[in-house]
Structure 1
Amino acid sequence: MANNHDIETYSKLGEGINFYLSESFHYLNEVLIYEYASIIFSKYIDKIDPTEADRKLIENLSLPDNPVELLQTDSIEAISDETASQMAASWETAQQKARLGQHSFGHQHEINSIEILGHLNNFGFFIETLVNRHLLFLNHINEIDNLSYSRISTARIIDRLIYIFKDDLKLNKVQINEIVNLFSLRNKTVHYTPDNAKALKPKLSELLKIWKQTKKVVEMLEKKEKFSEDNFSELLEQNINKIIQRWK
């Protein structure tokens, strides 16, 4: 098994790890920019006074209670063109301000933006690729024989982690409960059912716990590997700090 992979494989896996980590926090930053823009926008629209035309439209507005009937409604005119233009301009300004600004959401903030799918998926891929590379490393240094490697490398990601850290888990030197939670959240994105779409609202505090536990796990992998390359635990720490400094 070890003979099937050389330095190029490690290089490709390293590139993948770096890519997934970068993309995961890119999506999270976009999530928080959007949600901050929504906060700014809500303040702007509070200052937009409805026109007489708006009042007449609202008085005559009749919306179906059934969501399917609502989706099948050809057109809904609830505000005047004048007000719609003001709201569009306000939303544009809100997005510009949010992209350049910062905001304190608080750890209990629930994330509702659809881009959270990008963060959860890519962060999961980040962990999974690190684990895959470490298993290959263990095979190359003969800590895992070829038969065991072929079996464990295709197991569920949590089973792979348990295999790698079986001794440390017994001694309580490492925990993976938050990482288990991450993959539970990611499963909701993979199986994006109506119930999962409604339930997927992770809190910032939840994500922070996942990141911190992941950093500990990555540090333990790196300590054993001793690769002379980019330190992924440090890169993760940098990304965490950027989020905390701008959005905590």
Structure 2
Amino acid sequence: MKKHDVETYTKLAEGAKFFLDESFKYIDETLISESASLIYSKILDKIEPNEKDIEIFNTTTFSDNTIELSQSEEGILLSEETQDAFIKAWQDANTLARKYVIKHQITHKINSIEILGHLNNLGFFIETLTNRHLLFLYQSRIIDDFCYSRISVAKIMERLIFIFKDEIISKKVHLNEITNLFSLRNKTVHYTPDNSILLKPSISELIQIWNQCKKIIERFEKIEKINEEKFSILINAYIDGFKNKWI
């Protein structure tokens, strides 16, 4: 088995920091997109169809066939004037969403595509720190070669259950939200037709995941005592920043 020194811990920490930063960059972009969609819908409400639009509506046969609809000529159901108004509305909505912050209810379900980036990077963040913690346990001789060689290549939830098996039994540690995180991430990895529709986590769901991530990391840090900027503090700052800005 390859020997690992301080550089390995440093590289894993750098990776974890990168994934954490990226995950919260993406969640910020996600909420900007959510805001843009809300603004866009409000602007569209004010756009009235013109005579040409009404003529198109009255003379067009609408198909209920998904393939036919997807292959239909773009813009056939709107006049050029209305199409231009829709394009401008979307541009204005995005400009306003970046200029002004719109508060969201914690029950709000996220539908923007940027959520893929958040969930993937947050999953990578937890997985990287879990890998580093297992290496620490191995090099501290808390677990032996046999255990490490097998558990280090197991699925992420199996690794976490192994690490916290005693605390789980005593109910000092809960992994339900972490399980949910990786369930959501699996939907991004396997982005099937069904998963593309089902992947709509609520803001409250994400906050619960973040809070449990912080608790798990605090457990790692309590054992490792590595002299570095604490990831539990970093993620807590991101959580507070998100709450203050968006809800």
The answer to whether TM tops 0.5 is: yes
Q: Distance in 1 between matches of 2:163 and 2:100?
A: 42
CA deviation vs aligned residue, 1:30-74 (integer Å, no higher than 9, x gap): 111011011111111211222212211222222311101112223
Distance in 2 between residues matched to 1:49 and 1:200, nearest whole Å:
33
Structure 2 residue aligned with 1:124: 123
Residue 209 of structure 2: aligned partner: 210
The answer to whether structure 1 residue 27 and structure 2 residue 26 are counterparts is yes
- CA offset at residue 235 of structure 1? 0.9
After superposition, the C-alpha distances for 1:63-98 in whole angstroms (9 at most, x for unaligned) are 311101112223441222222222222211111111
Give the AA of the match of 1:210: I
Aligned in 2, Cα 1:9/1:177: closer, same or farther, shift over 3 Å? same
After TM superposition, list the pairs within 5 Å mapping 1:219-230 onto structure 2.
219-230=218-229
Amino acid at match of 2:140: I
Q: Give the distance between the partners of 1:24 and 1:67, measured in 2 at CA.
A: 34
What amino acid maps onto 1:52 in structure 2? Answer: E
Which residue of 1 is the match for residue 3 of structure 2? 4
Shift in Å at residue 182 of structure 1?
A: 0.9
**Structure 1 unmatched runs, 5+:** none
1:240 matched to 2:226? The reply is: no
Deviation at 1:4, TM superposition (A): 1.3
State the match for 1:168 in structure 2.
167
TM-score w.r.t. the length of structure 1 is: 0.95
- Supply the distance in 2 between the matched residues of 1:41 and 1:76 (Cα, whole angstroms): 18
Q: SS of the counterpart of 1:4?
A: coil
TM-score normalised according to structure 2 size: 0.95
Percent identity for Structure 1 against Structure 2: 52
Distance 2:232 2:102 in 1: 26
Shift of residue 8 of structure 1?
1.4
Give 1:79-228 correspondences, 5 Å limit: 79-228=78-227
1:100, 1:145 → 2: CA distance?
55
Please give the per-residue CA displacement for 1:103-143, whole angstroms capped at 9, x wherever unaligned: 22211111111111111111111100000000011111111
Contact 2:111 2:200 in 1 (8 A): yes
User: What is the alpha-carbon distance in structure 1 between the residues aligned to residue 76 and residue 230 of structure 2?
Assistant: 55
Contact 2:177–2:212, Cα closer than 8 Å, also in 1: yes
Separation of aligned partners in 1, 2:239 and 2:74 = 44
One-letter code aligned to 2:9: Y
Contact 2:75–2:83 (CA under 8 A) maintained in structure 1: no
Q: For residues 165-198 of structure 1, give each alpha carbon's deviation from its aligned partner in whole angstroms, at most 9, with x where no partner exists.
A: 1121122111111101111111111122222111
Distance 1:40 1:144 in 2: 54
**Structure 2 unaligned spans of 5+:** none
Which amino acid is the alignment partner of residue 23 of structure 2? S
1:59-70 pair list within 5 angstroms:
59-70=58-69
How many residues were matched structurally? Answer: 247
- Match of 1:148, as an amino acid? C
Distance in 2 of aligned mates of 1:93 and 1:69: 31
Tell me the C-alpha RMSD between the 2 structures: 1.3
Deviation at 1:222, TM superposition (A): 0.7
Counterpart Cα distance in 2 of 1:159 and 1:105: 35
CA distance in 2, matches of 1:221, 1:41: 44
